[in-house]
Amino acid sequence: MAVLRLALRNLLGAGLRTWLNVAALSFSFVAIIFLQGIYIGMNDQVEQATREAWYGGGQFWQKAYDPYDPLTLDDAHAPVPKELQFLIDNQEATPVLVRQATIYPRGRFRAVLLKGINPDQKVLSIPSSFLKSGDETIPALVGNRMAESAGLHRGDHITIQWRDVHGTFDARDVLIFDIFTTPVQEIDIGQIWIPLDRLQKLTALPNQATIVVLGKNRLPPQVPAGWTFKNLNFLLRDIHSLVRMKRVGAAIFYFILLFMAMLAIFDTQVLSIFRRRREMGTLMALGMTRANVIALFTLEGAFHGVLAALAAAVWGVPLLGVAARNGWKIPTSQDSFGYAIGDTIFPVYTAALVAGTIFLVLTVTTIVSYLPTRRIAKLKPTDALRGKMP
């Protein structure tokens, strides 16, 4: 206990040099927590948005379906199995039929994915209720990005051409009932949504689907023959890979911040040991062991981390609180990256993040503080009193 009090008194007595080191280290604390909070918040936002809009609690794919190969869509359909139909009837799953098509907006042509969805479904956040229509008009939904790129507006009639299951080409006009805004590009770009029963009838695929989306928090039943189940770990792997890549890139920034702060502490320790040789000799002459002297100087350096954590709490907590409430605005160009981030990222600061950062910085600070003190182990009290070092 006496060593602790003496170490703290010596550290505070160093004055401006101590507080400069504390300021640099506290900035490292706040920067690491802030950036890690950004990545955690980004990951949570993307996961939540994609789960609500498209992934649900997982997806059953018809065995021929490959989202990265549009040539598979002609064969990627099958009757909905009775195990999945039971979930659909109970609003615990929703089927989606996907077909290739071509639209002709304003005399131009564009390849799209024509997707059919049940207007009464409650599994996904897609505003499918707009697809209810009691007349012969085929209602359609498009996302805001699709509408902007194709020049579509509410109330527009556009011609859609597709090929049915027999290979026969057909075409109809559809009416754009609504344009919805979503951060999830997987239900937006290059896609047009129409009622499932209409698409099944137009393509001669009664009661067939390409994908069946399971409701959130619903355990999947036994996988039917001819279908494969894709859980959230599989569906979200691209998002997780992005976040891991970002964290690896940020680790370089963390290393630079910690290196600068640790270099300042290391230099302070070396200078302190060099200037306080007679003090060390006096302490050992009065009965303090070499181990206690080493512990004294190590604690003085380690206390930089403790004071930095306290300083970071004083000015960092209000700053991080404002960032968590208001979020971090990102440029509109980020929307083209293909991830459902939206225009604002809200950082998430967990107890594990804060505790882990404190533990990391304190551990590194203690190690850096100990390294220069190893020379004290060979120090003789008589040499120290004369101002000599081994």
Tens-place pLDDT, residues 117-139 = 999 999 999 999 889 876 778 99
Give the C-alpha separation, 258 to 252, whole Å: 10
Give the C-alpha separation, 124 to 52, whole Å: 6
Give per-residue pLDDT as tens, 334-358.
554 555 566 778 888 988 888 888 8
Asked whether residue 330 is assigned to any structural domain, the reply reads yes
In this structure, the dihedral spanned by the alpha carbons of residues 61, 67, 68 and 72, taken in order and rounded to 10 degrees, is 70
Structure token pair of residue 262: 């640790």
3-state class (DSSP) for residue 386: coil
111 with 257, same domain: the answer is no
| Per-residue pLDDT at 103 | 92
| Per-residue pLDDT at 341 | 64
306 with 219, same domain: the answer is no
How many domains are contained in the chain? 2
Length of the chain counted residue by residue:
390
| Per-residue pLDDT at 76 | 93
185 with 145, same domain: the answer is yes
Maximal C-alpha separation, the chain:
104
- Residue that finishes a domain, picked among 211, 230, 249: 230
Asked whether residue 390 is assigned to any structural domain, the reply reads no
- Residue that finishes a domain, picked among 204, 230, 256: 230
Predicted model pTM: 0.77
C-alpha triplet 213, 38, 304: angle, nearest 5°: 145
In 46-85, which positions are buried (b, 16+ CB within 10 angstroms) versus exposed (e)? bbebbbbbbbbbbbbbbeebebeeeebbeebbbebbebbb
Which residue has 């139909």 as its token pair? 85
Are the C-beta atoms of 88 and 95 separated by less than 8 Å? yes
81 with 222, same domain: the answer is yes
- Residue that finishes a domain, picked among 170, 199, 230: 230
Q: 340: which DSSP letter?
A: -
| Per-residue pLDDT at 154 | 92
Asked whether residue 128 is assigned to any structural domain, the reply reads yes
Asked whether residue 82 is assigned to any structural domain, the reply reads yes
Asked whether residue 253 is assigned to any structural domain, the reply reads yes
149 with 13, same domain: the answer is no
Other beta carbons within 10 Å of 360: 16
| Per-residue pLDDT at 389 | 54
Asked whether residue 142 is assigned to any structural domain, the reply reads yes
11 with 121, same domain: the answer is no
| Per-residue pLDDT at 117 | 95
| Per-residue pLDDT at 38 | 87
Are the C-beta atoms of 364 and 302 separated by less than 8 Å? no
Q: Looking at the chain, list the stretches that DSSP marks H as alpha helix, in order from N- to C-terminal side.
A: 2-13, 16-50, 82-89, 144-150, 196-202, 232-235, 237-275, 277-285, 290-326, 351-370, 381-385
Which residue from 127, 119, 68 is spatially nearest to 94, judged by alpha carbons? 119
Report, as ranges of residue numbers, the positions in the chain whose pLDDT lies below 50: 336
The neighbouring-strand residues paired with 100 are 113
266 with 381, same domain: the answer is yes
Q: 371: which DSSP letter?
A: G
163 with 252, same domain: the answer is no
178 with 322, same domain: the answer is no
198 with 223, same domain: the answer is yes
172 with 71, same domain: the answer is yes
| Per-residue pLDDT at 12 | 72
The neighbouring-strand residues paired with 230 are 59
Structure token pair of residue 139: 């209602």
| Per-residue pLDDT at 335 | 53
CA distances from residue 312 to 124, 256, 330, 357 in whole angstroms, order as listed? 42, 18, 26, 12
Q: Which residues form the domain of 70?
A: 58-230
210 with 252, same domain: the answer is no
